Amino acid sequence: MSDFLARALELLDQGDGDAALAVLYGGLGDPDMDPVLRGEASGLLADLMAERGDALAAASHYAQALLADPDRRSWRRGHVNALMQLADREAARAACETLLALRPDDATGHRHMAFLTLEAGDRTQALDHAREVLFLAPRDLGLLAAIADVLVRADEPLMAVEALETALRKAHPADPDLAPAAVAQARAWIALGEPKKAEKSLLLALDSDPDDRTGAGALLEGLSAGADSQTLPPAFVRALFDTYADRFDRELVGKLRYDAPSALRALLDAQKIGPGLDVVDAGCGTGLAGVVLRDLAATLAGFDLSPRMVERARARGLYDDLWVGEFVAGLSTRPEGCDLLVAADVLVYLGDLGPVMQAASLALRPGGWFAFTCEAADDPDGFLLHEGRRFAHGGGHIRASAAAAGLQVQVLRPHSSRHDRGSPVPGWICLCHKPA
Among 108-122, 224-238, 280-294, 357-371, which stretch is predicted with the lowest mean pLDDT? 224-238
- Give residue 227's pLDDT: 43
CB-count exposure of residue 411 (10 Å: 0-12, 13-18, 19+): middle
CB 396 within 8 A of CB 340: no
Helix (H, G, I), strand (E, B) or coil at 51: helix
What pLDDT, on a 0 to 100 scale, did the predictor assign at position 230? 60
Mean per-residue pLDDT for 407-411? 96
DSSP letter at 231? B
Q: Is residue 405 part of a domain?
A: yes
The mean pLDDT value for 138-167 works out to: 89
3-state class (DSSP) for residue 107: helix
| Identity of the amino acid at 126 | A
Q: Which domain holds residue 319?
A: 258-433
DSSP state of 112: H
Three-state DSSP at 421 gives coil
Tell me, yes or no, whether 218 lies in a domain: no
Over residues 76-111, the pLDDT tens digits come to: 999 999 998 888 889 999 999 999 999 999 999 999
CA-to-CA dists, residue 74 to 60, 87, 434, angstroms: 15, 20, 62
Closest by CA position to 394, among listed 419, 376, 421: 376
The answer to whether residue 231 is domain-embedded is no
What is the Cα–Cα distance from 322 to 135, expressed in whole angstroms?
46
pLDDT of residue 432: 97
**pLDDT band for position 181 (cuts 50, 70, 90):** very high
Mean pLDDT within 201-228:
80
Strands (E), 244-359: 277-282, 297-304, 321-324, 338-343
* pLDDT for the residue numbered 13: 86
Poorest-confidence range of 177-181, 237-241, 325-329, 345-349? 237-241
For 155-184, b/e burial (b = at least 16 CB within 10 A) is: ebbebbbebbeebbeebeeebebbbbbbbb
99 in a domain, yes or no?
no
Question: Looking at residue 188, what is its pLDDT?
Answer: 86
C-alpha to C-alpha distance for 90 and 93, rounded to whole angstroms: 5
- pLDDT (tens digit per residue) in 349-406: 888 999 999 999 999 999 999 999 999 998 888 898 876 678 999 999 999 999 999 9
Residue 108: per-residue pLDDT: 92
Dist. CA 243–CA 211, nearest whole Å = 18
From CA 176, how far away is CA 174, in angstroms rounded?
6
Q: Give CA–CA dist 45/42, Å, rounded.
A: 5
pLDDT at residue 224 greater than cutoff 80: no
| 309 falls within a domain | yes
d(CA 227, CA 11): 59
How far apart, in whole angstroms, are the C-alpha atoms of residue 435 and residue 365? 9
pLDDT, position 305: 85
In sequence order, the β-bridge partners of residue 341 are 280, 370
CB 400 within 8 A of CB 370: no
Mean pLDDT of 162-184: 91
Beta carbons within 8 Å of 186's beta carbon, 6+ residues apart: 198, 199, 201, 202, 205, 216, 219
Query: Residue range 132-136: average pLDDT?
Result: 95
| pLDDT at residue 333, as a whole number | 77
Instruction: Give the residue with greater pLDDT, 174 vs 341.
Output: 341
pLDDT digits (tens, 9 = 90+) for 325-355: 888 888 887 888 899 999 999 999 888 999 9
Does residue 254 have a pLDDT over 90? no
Asked if the structure places residue 275 within a domain, the reply is: yes
Count of alpha carbons within 13 Å of 208, Cβ hemisphere only?
A: 25
d(CA 150, CA 123): 10
pLDDT of residue 431: 97
Helix (H) or strand (E) holding 420: strand 419-420
In a domain, 232, yes or no: no
Q: Do 254 and 274 meet the contact criterion of CB atoms below 8 Å apart?
A: no
Query: What is the CATH classification number for the domain harbouring 319?
Result: 3.40.50.150
Give the whole-number percent of the chain exceeding pLDDT 70. Answer: 91
Mean pLDDT is lowest, of 183-192, 348-357, 426-435, for 183-192
Distance CA 239, CA 232 (A): 12
What 90-98 contacts at long range (C-beta under 8 Å, 24+ apart), as own/partner pairs, is 92/116, 93/120
Question: What pLDDT does residue 97 have?
Answer: 94
Identify which has the larger pLDDT, 295 or 389: 295
Mean of per-residue pLDDT scores for the chain: 87
Query: What pLDDT, on the 0 to 100 scale, is given for residue 434?
Result: 96
Report if residue 32 sits inside a domain.
no
- Please give the tally of structural domains in the chain: 1
| Per-residue pLDDT at 221 exceeds 60 | yes
Q: Is residue 228 very low, low, confident or very high in pLDDT (cuts 50, 70, 90)?
A: very low
177-186, 194-203, 232-241, 327-336: least confident range: 232-241
Q: Is the pLDDT of residue 229 over 80?
A: no
